[in-house]
Structure 1
Amino acid sequence: MLPLFSVKAALFIIIGICCFCPCPATAGAIQHYDVGVLALRGDDHAKKSWQPTLHWLESQIPNTTFEMHTYDFDELDDAFRHNQLDFLLTSPGQATKIARQYQLNWLATQKTAYSSNSTHSIASVVVVRSDSPYQTLKDIERASIAAVSEKAFGGFLALRYELDKLDFFSRSFFRNIQFTGPPTDKLLLDVLDKSLDVAIVPACTLENMVKEGLLQRDQFRVLEKKHPHDSVCAVTTALYPNWTLAKTTRASNEIGKKVTQALLSLPEYSKAAAAAGNIGWTLPASSVHVDKVFQHLDMHPLQASWQEGLFKWLTKNQLITFGIVLFLIILNVYHFWLEYHFNRSKKDLERTLFDLKEKNTMLEHAQRTMIVGELGSSIAHEINQPLSTIKNYSEGIQRRLDQGMTAEELAPFLGKIHQQVGVAGDIVQRLRSLIKRTPSERVICDPAAFIKESLELIEFDFQALKIDLKFSEEGTPIQGEFDYIGMQQVMLNLLRNAKEACLANLEWDTSPGVSVELLYGENDIVIRVADNGIGLEANEETLKEPFFTTKQDGLGLGLAICRDVIDAHHGHFIIQPARPKGCEVTVIIPIKREQK
């Protein structure tokens, strides 16, 4: 019995040692890796396409798990920069830009059966409806166009490179392109329902959607269709390298080596290859052509901007930089100096113009006052007429009061006295307006009004001097907007000059006379004042000069003021000899027909 007991005890000891003694684990710890995948056709499509490949890696590399994270372009960039990923699976454009800026190891490029060049199948495709009027790339300048992203290499940048080389469109064309974001499938669906005219999509997107039963091939047309390297998919641009799997600095070189070996050993016809639409993987393809695209578009991350290049040149040439800075400082100081003197000169000029306007107003006032003084006899006659009438009526009323007439019987005579008082008041008011007129005070009137009023003021003077004064009108009357007192001053000046010219003529063949004509034209009026006096004593250029006068006590401002008033009406003032003798002044003033 003792030997049997000893054997059992030994077995229990061995079992206890196996259960409780710390021994090395037969299985190592599970290593977890995060894989960022660009999901151009949406998250579900990306997972369906690439999850089998990650399972293959897990089956080939013991004690590892690979978790897929799907992103758009911006999200993938952000996740990489925040060190959230171990591996990237993205388009050649994004992979190239990241690799040129950060430490990124390319592990393998997928192979496809789409063309004879198995590592190249990325391209841009311009798709329109089969019934679209757009036949070539040149036709789409004003079409509504959309792409998935401005960063999509096959979905946009490859096409922009081709268009830029051909110099088809300006930059405004590319600014008008809509960028909708993933999925790319929606672009073709929008073209189909006519929400878009043109869609820019990656190569084989159309063919894959047709294969999946989402579209019918005869519903679409590819512009500038070509099949480089015998590509089974119609494309618009050249072919570029396929998607590449890359390792970030977060993953070790050891796991990178194992992933590369696993991908290169993936069979061409495996379920993982079929799901991803490839025929396995190969060594990383060269990105030289991708670099050329970015360089041509001035988008390459290693390209220095013109600002950076300028700063580098200025730093290298410090003496020239100092000279430029000094020149700019001097130029700015000179600019401020010029601006200071310009502002001071401007203020001086404004002050001078203000003084000239004041003096001009004073001279005009003096000239109008002189006219009134010269018209003293006419003014006295005009005022004397209503005063004489008032005197006569007043004496008549006195006699009738003595005869015992009632107030009711005298009322009509009092009304006539009141009427004559109004006439005298109007005469005084006209004279006050002439002396104290406000510049550019315009009213709508018939030009005959200020002409007749001027004639009334000067008529008695002409009769006393036995100068014949005639006025005539011709045409359909037109009302216009006039500086009433200004035009009255013009007429009085011209009539006064005509009177003095007649008085200076000592050799009369006929009696002295002045004629005033008013002609109504289609779009203007013509006022003509002619006399048979002594005629012009100077040429027209001399007459235009201010302060020129042939009178001993004249100011020489009459004609100058006339010209200013007529110029303010955008008219013309013409002085010429009259036949057979005398002078003729013509005033032409434009009038718009809507002012009738």
Structure 2
Amino acid sequence: MLRRAQALLCCLVLGSPAAGAAPGPDEPVRLAVVNSFGEAVSLRYFSETVDAIARAVAPRRLEVHEYEPSSFLEGAQKNKFDVTIASAGLTTLMLEQTNGSALLSLSTRRAPNPNKANGTAVIVRGDSPVQTLADLQGRRLAIVSRKAFAGWQVPAGELMRSGQNPEAIFSSIREVGMPMENVLREVKTGRADVGFVITCLLEELEESGRIARGEFRLVAEKKDPDFACRHSTALYPGWFLSVKPTLPAADARRILMEVLALPPSPRRGVYWTVSSDRKPMRDLFTLMNLEPRKPSVANFIQRYKGYFLGALLVLLALFLYSAAITRITYRRTAALARARERQLKAELELKRSAQTIDSLEKVQAVGLIASMLAHELRQPLVVITNYAQGLRIRLSRGPVDRGVLMSSLDEIEAAGERADEIVEHVRNFVKGRRSRPVELDLGQEVEKIIRTFKRHCRSGISVAFEPCPGLSVRADPVELGIIFMNLLRNSEEACLKNERDTPGRIAVRISRSGERAVVRVQDNGPRLTDEVLERMRKLGRPSSGEGLGLGLGITRELAEGCGGSVSVERCEPRGASVTVSLPLSSSSAQGRSN
């Protein structure tokens, strides 16, 4: 297969007889391939792609040229190619500097997510004592080039995020050039202690038998469910297929259609798709001060503006010091006058700020009241609407059983009474009247709320309840109902996002912790991301699209009004848990002491 791929590339560079005999322009289409893996591996990966591009541009000839990262960027500046296959980082730099468009991103069986298909393996020999990034201090490093994306920029950014200087941590940094197998040879022979290589290279070489399994080991190895290759860094988009403005749009369209039509390769599952997230690469470029810009006087000034500013400040300080010696008396008098003027302005500004804050607090209060009313009235209004529509449908079909009619009217009446209680509660809040807490059996109240939730829950989600008898709290029953109905609805929304083969489950458990009652509502919804968990913990801040901010915000306000608290935790391997802690009433506390 390797010889066939080599013969294919040679034929494409020279032009096949059929292509040369076909009519059309004599100008060839020039394809640039960055050789990061090594010639043999690169040919195995891209031979089918090169073949598809040749078919797309026929009858024009396709010339294929291999580049290293440094010569690749120089070739782009000189318009030496029309189509490129290169790493995402090199492609981004090249397109920003010389224009063009990235069409497709490479995915494989090992990296099915095109946004997480490339990274770095920080490698040492299998018998090396190095285990963590901190152990790299004073070691000898081998890399292909400082211009390589996965070979230098990605691991250097990883070291910078851990608080280390990639240029200072190593005793020496040796650039050995392409292919990247040179780095492995340096580490294997002991001329280097550690090396940076692109992900999946170790697996490719082990499968082909060119290196032994266990001959090399990774430092600070990470795990990712979307990536099967060993890696030590964050992951970025993989290889990009891009076109330059020198390629006609019709040829670019045919290349796109031809390459997309390629099936995944039988052995490695290599295919082309679309990458949707390039932000991690731009964040890395910003961190390392590698923003892709064309060289210019403005860029030079921007890069060294700190030095210019420092020199200017030194000159300004010398000038001010010289002037102060001759005008010190005048300046002190003027300074006192300015200080008095600033004091008067500050006092006036303070008064204006106090008035502004008072206005903002009133606006915020009105907003909270309106949001709370709209949020809490939705559930009883939905119940009333559903039962009314159901009765209308039943009546349109003929007489309705009196028992069914009375049961539906009871539900409508109960929902109406709950809506009235909510409106009355909000009216009292607006008028500044405090709620009237009464002593309630917490287990009975929560069980009643769960029964109401089950009656109106049509999603088939199961609710398990584990009470703790004998716990009483002082609270407003309406507020208590709002607290736990909100938590049950939030858990229901989370469970509805599960896959079809994962039934939704909610568990409610009551326990006692000292002089407080603890109610824990846990669901088995999808695993929370760090971003969603952070938003849930910042209770009261509305979150777009999640339905978590307002409900939890009201829950927190009402729980704290009862002297309680609310906390949110992520459950493993999936789901979330919200814990409400409420102070026990005096009777429950005395009962324990007796």
**Bin for the TM-score computed over the shorter chain:** 0.3 to 0.5
TM-score, length basis structure 1: 0.46
TM-score by length of 2: 0.46
Q: Say which one has the larger Rg.
A: 1
